[in-house]
Amino acid sequence: MKPLKRGMVIVYHGNGKGKTTAAIGMLVRALGHGYKVAYVQFLKSSVSGETKFLSRTSGVLFYSGGLGFVGIMGDKKSLDEHRKKALETLEFARKILKEDYYIVVLDEINCALGLGLLNLDDVIDVIRSRKENVNVVLTGCTAPEKLIEIADIVTEMVKVKHIYDQGYLAKIGVDF
């Protein structure tokens, strides 16, 4: 075995819980080693616990580029509004992926792709244009096959059972 000198592309996707949590765990691990990290949020809003925590954690560049969830939880914004914000967020990600970050998390980017807010070829171009040593983590729903192909690590979170299926709402501090 030999050490990998270049940055990796890591994908956490699937219909189960834990994608964002796993990505944030990686940020915490890197922070513990003194690395510079960034978290770029595509869809979530400021009500999530991770948003509240990361936005005030020193050592984390936090950028919330989303307008909130799309088409659920009372969302009244048009797809065009969401698309414009997602494109702005992708351009911000392009910029910081060329800087000296050890890990950059692109949270919910897979969902932004699935909703048609972003073009897959544009996202792949952003990933490939990053500095060679930057690790990039992509989270959310189902990742497109082309992203899985270029990734170094892919983990699929699979829902076995969830309280939603029994008619319960998401729980603060557990689900968001």
CATH of the domain at 129: 3.40.50.300
Predicted confidence at residue 65, as pLDDT, reads: 85
Predicted confidence at residue 45, as pLDDT, reads: 65
Number of independent structural domains in the chain: 1
Residue 21 lies in a domain: yes
Domain that holds residue 98: 9-133
SS3 state at 116: coil
Residue 168 lies in a domain: no
SS3 state at 140: coil
Residue 60 lies in a domain: yes
- Mean local confidence (pLDDT), 49-65: 89
Residue 116 lies in a domain: yes
Residue with tokens 């189960």: 16
Residue 143 lies in a domain: no
In which element (H, E) is residue 13 found? strand 9-14
Tokens, residue 36: 């510079």
pLDDT of 22 over the 90 cut: yes
- The string of pLDDT tens digits covering residues 123-172 is 999 999 999 999 999 999 999 999 999 999 999 999 999 888 899 888 88
